[in-house]
Chains A and B, each alone.
Chain A
Amino acid sequence: MATKRKSDIGNGNHVADEVDLFVERAVQGEDKSEDDTTDSEESVYSGLEEEEDTSDSGEDQDSAESDDFKDDDDNLNENEMKDELSKKELDVQNNNRSNSDLSQTTQATVPEYEYDSSDEEDIRNTVGNIPMEWYKNYTHIGYDIDGKKLVKPEKADELDEFLNKMDDPNYWRTVTNKLTGQSVILSKEDVELIQRLQEKKHPSAQNEMYAPWVEVFVNETMIHPLSNRPEHKRSFMPSKWEKLKVGQMVYALKMGWMKPTKTQEDKEADEEKEEENKFYMLWKEDEESEISKRIRQNIPAPKIPLPGHEESYNPPPEYLFTEEEKKKWEEQDEEERRLNFIPQKFNSLREVPAYPRFINERFNRCLDLYLCPRQSKMKMNVNPEDLIPKLPKPKDLQPFPTQQALVYRGHKGMVRCLSADKSGQWLASGSDDGTVKIWEVVTGRCMKTFKIDDVIKGLEWNPNPSLSLVALTVEHSVILINPGVGDKLLVSSTDDMISSFDTSETQTGKISPVEWSVYDGKKYDEGFRIKITHEKEVTQVTWHVKGDYFATVVPKGDSRSVIIHQLSKRRSQNPFSKSKGLVQCVRFHPVRPFLFVASQRYVRVYNLLKQELSKKLMTNCQWVSSIAVHPRGDNLIIGSYDCRLSWFDMDLSTKPYQTLRHHKKALRQVCYHPHYPLFASASDDCTVIVCHGMVYNDLLQNPQIVPVKILRGHTPENGVGILDCVFHPTQPWIFSAGADSTIRLYT
Chain B
Amino acid sequence: MKILNQTVKMEALALSAPHVQVKFYTKQPQYAIPDTPFSVPSSVTTKELSSLINSLVAGESGDGNIADFDFLISGEFLRLPLDQHLAQKEISSEDVVELEYIVHHPAPRPEHSMDHDDWVSSVQGSDKYILSGCYDNTLHIWKTDGGPIMTIPGHTQPVKCVAWVDSQSEEPVSTFLSGSHDQTILLWEWNREKNEIDCRHCCRGHAGSVDCVAVDSSRQRFCSGSWDKMLKLWSAVVNMEEEIEEEVEVSQKKKRKGDKTKKVQTRVPLLTLSGHSEGVSAVTWTDGNEVCTASWDHTIRLWDLEQATQKSLLQGSKVFLDLAYSSLNRLLITASADRHLRLWDPRVKDGAIVKCTYTSHTAWVSSVAWSPANENQFISGSYDNLMKLWDRRSPKAPLYNMGGHEDRILTVDWSIPSLLLSGAADNQLKVYGYLDAQQQLMENI
Contacts and interface: CB of A to CB of B under 8 A. Distances in A.
B184 to A, nearest CB: 9
A144 B181 CA distance: 180
A406 B279 contact: no
A731 B298 CA distance: 10
A262 interface: no
A488 B157 CA distance: 11
Interface string A389-432: 00000000001000001100000000000000001110000000
Given A443-B119, A445-B119, A731 B158 contact: no
B183 A730 contact: no
B317 A399 contact: yes
B363 A423 contact: no
A425 B364 contact: no
Nearest to A730: B278
A307 B364 CA distance: 75
B337 A425 contact: no
A731 B181 CA distance: 21
B158 A445 contact: yes
Contact of A425 (B182, B183, B208, B366): B208
B207 A443 contact: no
A425 B278 CA distance: 10
A118 B202 CA distance: 179
A486 interface: yes
B319 A406 contact: no
A398 to B, nearest CB: 9
A239 B147 CA distance: 154
A486 B296 contact: no
A487 B337 CA distance: 24
A405 B296 contact: no
A746 to B, nearest CB: 11
B321 interface: yes
Contacts of B227: 423, 425
A425 B209 contact: yes
B410 interface: yes
A406 B366 CA distance: 12
A659 B363 CA distance: 35
Contact of A488 (B119, B158, B183): B183
Given A405-B363, A731-B296, A747-B337, A425 B408 contact: no
Interface SS of chain A? loop
B338 interface: yes
A486 B210 CA distance: 11
Nearest to A404: B363
A443 B183 contact: no
A404 to B, nearest CB: 9
B135 interface: yes
Interface string A726-747: 0000110000000000000001
Contacts of B383: 405-406
Interface string A484-505: 0111110000000000000000
Question: Which of A443, A444, A487 has the largest count of B CB atoms less than 10 A from its CB?
Answer: A443
A352 interface: no
Contacts of B183: 487-488
A264 B289 CA distance: 116
Contacts of B121: 443
A444 B278 CA distance: 19
Interface string B208-219: 110000000000
A219 to B, nearest CB: 116
Interface in B320-339: 321, 337-338
A442 interface: yes
Interface string A423-458: 111000000000000000011110100000000000
Contacts of A406: 364, 383
B428 to A, nearest CB: 15
Given A406-B383, A425-B227, A731-B319, A443 B408 contact: yes
Interface in A697-747: 730-731, 747
Contact of A405 (B158, B228, B317, B337): B337
Contacts of B203: none
B425 interface: yes
A488 B182 contact: yes
A442 B182 contact: no
Contacts of B363: 405
A735 to B, nearest CB: 14
Contacts, number: 49
Interface in B281-316: 296
A444 B121 CA distance: 12
Nearest to A747: B337
Given A423-B227, A730-B278, A731-B319, A747 B338 contact: yes
Given A405-B383, A487-B208, A747-B338, A444 B408 contact: yes
Nearest to A488: B183
A651 to B, nearest CB: 31
Given A405-B363, A405-B364, A730-B296, A442 B207 contact: no
A362 B391 CA distance: 89
Contacts of B366: 443
A424 B366 CA distance: 17
Question: Which of B296, B317, B321 has the largest count of A CB atoms less than 10 A from its CB?
Answer: B296
Contacts of B408: 443-444
Contact of A487 (B158, B207, B410): B207
A443 B296 contact: no
B87 to A, nearest CB: 27
Given A405-B364, A425-B227, A445 B207 contact: no
Interface in B202-239: 207-209, 227-228
A644 B429 CA distance: 49
A405 B208 CA distance: 24
Contacts of A447: 158, 181
Contacts of A444: 408, 425
B122 to A, nearest CB: 11
Question: Which of B119, B158, B319, B425 has the largest count of A CB atoms less than 10 A from its CB?
Answer: B319
B162 to A, nearest CB: 16
Contacts of A424: 278, 296
Interface string B357-371: 000000110100000
Given A425-B279, A486-B208, A730-B296, A443 B338 contact: no
Contacts of A399: 317
Contacts of B279: 423, 425
Nearest to B229: A423
Contacts of A442: 321
Given A406-B383, A423-B227, A445 B135 contact: yes
B155 to A, nearest CB: 12
Contacts of A423: 208, 227, 279
Interface in B73-131: 119, 121
A488 B227 CA distance: 13
A443 B183 CA distance: 18
B160 to A, nearest CB: 9
A423 B410 CA distance: 21
A177 B278 CA distance: 161
Contacts of B209: 425, 486
Contacts of A731: 296, 319, 337
B244 to A, nearest CB: 19
Nearest to A398: B317
B248 to A, nearest CB: 13
Interface string B396-439: 00000000000010100000000000000100000000000000
B382 to A, nearest CB: 11
- Which 3 residue pairs across A and B have the least CB separation, nearest first? A487-B207, A405-B364, A425-B227
18 contacts: A399-B317, A405-B337, A405-B383, A406-B364, A424-B278, A424-B296, A425-B209, A425-B227, A442-B321, A443-B119, A445-B119, A445-B135, A445-B425, A447-B158, A485-B181, A487-B207, A730-B278, A730-B296
Given A405-B363, A423-B208, A487-B228, 17 more contacts: A405-B383, A406-B364, A423-B227, A424-B278, A424-B296, A425-B208, A425-B227, A443-B119, A443-B121, A445-B119, A445-B425, A447-B181, A487-B183, A487-B208, A488-B182, A731-B319, A747-B338
